[in-house]
Amino acid sequence: MRKVLIPTKLDKVVAEILGKKGFTVVQNPDLPLADLAAANPDANAIIVRSEKVTPEIMDGLKDLKLVVRAGAGFDNIDIRHARKLGIDVMNTPGANSNAVAEEVVAVILAAYRHIVPADISTRAGKWEKKSFMGRELTGKTIGILGLGNIGRLLIKRLSGFDVTILGFDPVLSSDLAASLGARLCTLEEIFAQSDIISLHIPENDKTRGMINASLLSLMKPGAMLVNCARAGIVDENAIRAAKEEKKIVFCNDVYAKDAEGDKSVADIADIMLPHLGASTKEANFLAAKRAAEQMVAYFEDGVTACVVNKGVPDGLDPDYQTLASVLAGVGAAYLKGAAISRIELSCYGKLHKFAKWMIAPITSAICHEFDAFSGADEAMKCLESRGIQFENRETDETKHYGEAITLDFKVAGGSCSVRGTITEGKIMISRINNFDGIYLQPQGETIFVQYVDAPGVISRIGGLLAGRNINITDIRAPQGIGSTNSLLVAKVNAPVSAELLKQISDSVSAVNSFTFSC
């Protein structure tokens, strides 16, 4: 029987659905997740809303397999640590979207018509009608950053106000944006032309602090900025300066921490809400229902469609990521620590669409401090920080390499090219530079010796290995195409020391030699 921890106020439908399927549900919104986890170390799954799922919590739950965020954003969950532990993390995209879209409309109208201060004033017995002269939403230009589920619903909810919609979304085409009712624009165009700007983008390394002084300086005097997305995407000090200079209106529903206490935007926010975007009965019910249904489908049928921290996407055999890492390791070993200036990746066949998933394992193989469980964007930053250019090349499918990977490394005064594939479920190195047809499985200890081809070289190498009681278990020695050099690639049953490798190299006047352990 599987146990699920729910440290939050979710609609009772979640317990009903899971209970009918035989899950043991432990729901306690008054107990911190860390305490709930400590009391239930045998838990298999967690469902949260804004509660933080930390590495410490996951480390303590040895049977944890799944964490579900009942909502869209999942930055409260350490997804990288979860991936390391083999824990899948899901969200429930779209469950809260309508609630947030309606909230945006509500705060816009509340700010335009001074609803909150007018209510307070009138309840106090005052009649300050002249002080609360407002503005109409009809006819305004609205800029929406992020045309995902929430952004698209916001367009629909605003349609009755006869507004002009400008949209920003880097992955959306102009035609699709037009079909939704928005004109795709640059960030600068949106901030310069909009009367109201609503933010619906995630917080990550690319978007953190994105709403900065440069963009805010373009806003019209008295324009409105609404943030119901994530606190970190705005530069609060820049808003503070823009508010003083241009009297912009700022409405906010998100904070660095969802908790009681002073809020850093209290002096600049015209409307502040305690992260109420998803706080509707309807959204709570839908998020709870989807979280439960996704959990059942995951455990009963292996459905992973909403997993956000997949090690690999659907359709990609993870062994190909291992292959990419092995090829990078072999290439780096061939180059003997020379500073790599450029890496060119060629993914053939069906692998081409998965090329970005190869960047992290490649990076971790040549930059050992880089976390292999990081994403492609972080890998690119790591490479750039080391002055390494990276190119994902278009491939020539007329070569009929099948599902294969080629890595080309450039260094000062040299290069190395390595190709590999997977045959009968086994990783194979098929080519190093012009030495083709290797097809050796890199498993255990492997020695590589490049030499000028001559009779007796292989036996000499074998004799030196045997003298150290090292046995060759598999061997290839192709001659380079258009060359007098050959490359011995031999799997051995024990590590080859640096001293023995030098002895082998000297005895055969090796052009290059190195070892590789896999």
**Which pLDDT score is estimated for 139?**
96
Distance CA 190, CA 177 (A): 14
Does 213 score more than 80 pLDDT?
yes
pLDDT of the residue at 322: 93
Q: What was the pLDDT predicted at 316?
A: 87
pLDDT in tens, 312-358: 777 888 899 999 999 999 999 999 888 899 999 999 999 999 999 99
pLDDT score, position 241: 96
Same CATH fold, 97-272 and 3-93+283-301?
A: yes
Look at residue 485 in the predicted model and tell me its pLDDT: 95
- Outline where DSSP puts E strands in 295-424: 340-347, 389-392, 404-411, 414-423
Segment 382-405, tens digit of pLDDT: 898 888 999 999 888 787 788 999
Mean pLDDT, residues 237-262? 94
Confidence category of residue 94, pLDDT binned at 50, 70, 90 = confident
- H or E element at residue 446: strand 445-452
User: Strand (E) positions, 333-398?
Assistant: 340-347, 389-392
Mean pLDDT of 187-214: 93
Choice between 502 and 337, residue whose per-residue pLDDT is larger: 502
Instruction: Look at 4-18, 48-62, 71-85, 205-219 and tell me which has the smallest mean pLDDT.
Output: 71-85
Going by CATH, does the domain composed of 3-93+283-301 fall within 3.40.50.720?
A: yes
Query: What average pLDDT does range 398-415 have in this prediction?
Result: 90
* Cβ proximity of 271 and 107 under 8 Å: yes
Q: What percent of the chain has pLDDT over 70?
A: 100
Structure tokens given for 144: 């929406």
CATH 3.30.1330.90, applies to 320-433 = yes
Average model confidence (pLDDT) across the chain: 93
pLDDT band at 244 (very low <50, low <70, confident <90, very high): very high
Are the beta carbons of 307 and 316 closer than 8 angstroms?
A: no
| Domain chopping of the chain, boundaries | 3-93+283-301, 97-272, 320-433, 440-518
3-state secondary structure of 133: coil
Q: What is the pLDDT of residues 271-312, one digit of tens each?
A: 999 999 989 999 999 999 999 999 999 999 988 888 888 777
Kindly indicate the confidence band of residue 415, based on its pLDDT and cuts at 50, 70 and 90.
Answer: very high
Q: What is the pLDDT of residue 80?
A: 87
Contact 508, 451 (CB under 8 A): yes
- Tell me what pLDDT residue 73 has: 80
pLDDT over 90 for what percent of the chain?
80
pLDDT score recorded for residue 388: 92
Secondary-structure class of domain 97-272 per CATH:
alpha beta
Q: Which has more pLDDT, 311 or 173?
A: 173
For residue 297, the tally of other CB atoms under 10 A from its CB is 14
Write out the CATH class of domain 440-518: alpha beta
Task: Write down the pLDDT at residue 164.
Answer: 98
User: Is a pLDDT exceeding 90 seen at residue 518?
Assistant: no
pLDDT tier for residue 258 given thresholds of 50, 70 and 90: confident
- Convert the pLDDT of each residue in 365-376 to its tens digit: 988 778 777 778
pLDDT at 210 over 90: yes
- Residue 315: its pLDDT value, please? 83
Neighbours of 266 (CB within 10 A): 9
Can you say whether the dihedral through the CA atoms of 438, 444, 449, 453 is positive or negative? negative
* Entry pTM: 0.67
Return d(Cα 415, Cα 364) in angstroms, integer.
20
Amino acid residing at 348:
Y
